[in-house]
């Protein structure tokens, strides 16, 4: 059981402000994703939770208690290292047992805990093998089991599946979600893959340059991004963000007074009869089709269901699904629609 909170935490490495006044609340038992581009401060959050680094300012709380003065070993938080961190000369079983043997735990208790972890992770049948004889996904599960036997209050993972190929990544993330729910433990998970974050997280924080730009559920952030930055980070193809001057061309009337740009997700852009925009590219992707369009020189993307019959060069009209227009001010901050 562990909730984890950051209160106005800053961390500097030399000239680099790795974290800038970060506040975060990760609730107990959450699958919480730290999401952002490289060097935005995600791994620094993990190091601070583990206690490998100390904040320069602010406070970190685990289950409501400040941990600044608590040494790493006493925090009982487990980092699940990537599969490379398994000992190659040991079998999977010896690897999983290792943290408990090191603590001189009673052998009977060790067997019970290892048996429990192996059952949860479905690795009983591969425990006799060394890591070299396991697939990437199996190694991953063994690495998780090794963390699991310690019975920590929370797990941390730093981009654990980025090295796997696309299909295995998809399988593994579904599995991680299942394991996390079964374990009933808080999992803090770093990723720079928006699809991964959206599919597994029940809470997430979007980072930019050491700052948290927004936190919430993936759905909240997708539907109500607070800025063009967050809007652009979630969703592929990315949200169309165009000058307000083009809003009328898409039948969007009004908008808040200070609005400088209009944002429309590709799936909320409707293609209608008309001659406002030119289709520049048609990309049929099976279940849906992506259109690249040009509206008065501005490129746009639309995602349509199925395989509608459009061809490059065709002129079309554009409308926006009612209630699905986003408006942003000159600084890129979201404005409430009027
Ligand atoms: N030990 C360190 N010494 C010096 N600079 C560091 C150290 N650790 C992190 N930094 C710097 O702090 C900033 C944030 O790094 P961090 O590793 O937290 O980013 P990240 O979002 O996890 O990036 P990535 O996705 O590439 O892992 C970067 O500019 C990085 O170079």
Report the separation in Å between the CA atom of 210 and the middle of ligand 1, taken as the mean of its atom positions. 9
| Nearby residues of 273 by Cβ (< 8 Å), 6 or more positions away | 316, 317
CA pair distance 2, 63, nearest whole angstrom: 5
Kindly report, as residue ranges, where domains of CATH 3.40.50.300 are found in the chain.
4-226
The answer to whether ipTM exceeds 0.90 is yes
Cross-strand pairs, 191: 35
State the DSSP H helix or E strand holding residue 166, giving kind and residue range, or none if neither: helix 166-183
Distance CA 168, CA 187 (A): 20
pLDDT recorded at residue 83: 52
What is the per-residue pLDDT for 82?
61
The kind and range of the H/E element at 211 are: strand 211-216
Which residue among 15, 33, 40 has the greatest number of ligand 1 atoms within 8 angstroms of its CB, and so is best to mutate?
A: 40
pLDDT in tens, 234-259: 998 999 999 999 998 898 887 888 99
Burial of 129 (0-12, 13-18, 19+ CB in 10 A): middle
pLDDT class for 122, splitting at 50, 70, 90? confident
What confidence tens digit (pLDDT) does each residue in 177-230 have? 888 888 788 999 999 899 999 999 999 999 999 999 999 999 999 999 999 999
Instruction: List every span in the chain annotated with CATH 2.40.50.140.
Output: 240-335
Mutate to test the pocket of ligand 1, among 6, 44, 160 (most ligand atoms within 8 A of CB): 44
Say how far apart CA 130 and CA 292 lie, in whole Å: 50
Average confidence score pLDDT of the chain? 91
Top CATH class of 4-226 equals alpha beta
pTM of structure: 0.89
The pair of three-digit structure tokens given for residue 214, joined into one six-digit string: 């927004």
Choice between 167 and 61, residue whose per-residue pLDDT is larger: 61
Residue 240 near residue 232, CB atoms below 8 Å? no
Residue whose CA lies nearest to ligand 1 atom number 1: 13
Distance from Cα 7 to the centre of ligand 1, integer Å: 20
Four-way CATH pick for 240-335: 1.10.10.10, 2.40.50.140, 2.160.10.10, 3.50.50.60: 2.40.50.140
- Residue 219: the pLDDT is 96
Q: Is the pLDDT of residue 310 over 70?
A: yes
Question: What residues line ligand 1, using a CB cutoff of 6 Å?
Answer: 13-14, 16, 18, 36, 38-44, 192
């Amino acid at each position: 059981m562990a909730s984890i909170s950051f209160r106005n935490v800053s961390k500097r490495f030399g000239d680099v402000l790795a974290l800038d006044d970060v506040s975060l609340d990760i609730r107990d038992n959450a699958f919480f994703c730290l999401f952002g581009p490289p060097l935005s401060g995600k791994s620094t959050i993990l190091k601070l939770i583990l206690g490998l680094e100390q904040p320069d300012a602010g406070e970190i709380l685990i289950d409501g208690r400040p941990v600044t003065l608590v040494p790493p070993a006493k925090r009982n938080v487990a980092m699940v290292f990537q599969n490379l961190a398994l000992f190659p000369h040991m079998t999977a079983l010896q690897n999983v047992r290792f943290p408990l043997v090191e603590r001189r735990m009673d052998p009977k208790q060790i067997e019970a805990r290892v048996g429990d972890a192996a059952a949860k992770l479905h690795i009983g049948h591969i425990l006799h093998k060394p890591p070299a004889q396991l697939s990437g996904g199996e190694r991953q599960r063994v690495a998780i089991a090794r963390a699991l036997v310690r019975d920590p209050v929370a797990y941390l993972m730093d981009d654990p599946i980025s090295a796997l190929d696309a299909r295995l990544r998809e399988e593994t993330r579904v599995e991680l979600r299942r394991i996390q729910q079964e374990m009933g433990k808080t999992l803090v998970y770093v990723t720079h893959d928006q699809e991964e974050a959206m599919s597994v997280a029940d809470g997430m924080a979007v980072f930019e340059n050491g700052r948290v730009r927004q936190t919430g559920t993936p759905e909240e952030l997708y539907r109500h991004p607070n800025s063009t930055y967050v809007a652009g980070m979630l969703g592929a193809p990315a949200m169309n963000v165009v000058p307000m001057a083009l809003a009328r061309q898409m039948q969007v009337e009004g908008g808040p007074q200070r609005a400088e740009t209009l944002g429309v997700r590709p799936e909320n852009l409707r293609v209608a009869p008309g001659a406002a925009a030119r289709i520049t590219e048609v990309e049929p992707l099976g279940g849906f089709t992506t259109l690249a369009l040009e509206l008065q020189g501005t490129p746009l993307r639309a995602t349509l269901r199925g395989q509608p019959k459009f061809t490059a060069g065709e002129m079309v009209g554009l409308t926006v699904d009612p209630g699905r227009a986003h408006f942003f001010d000159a600084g890129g901050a979201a404005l409430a629609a009027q």
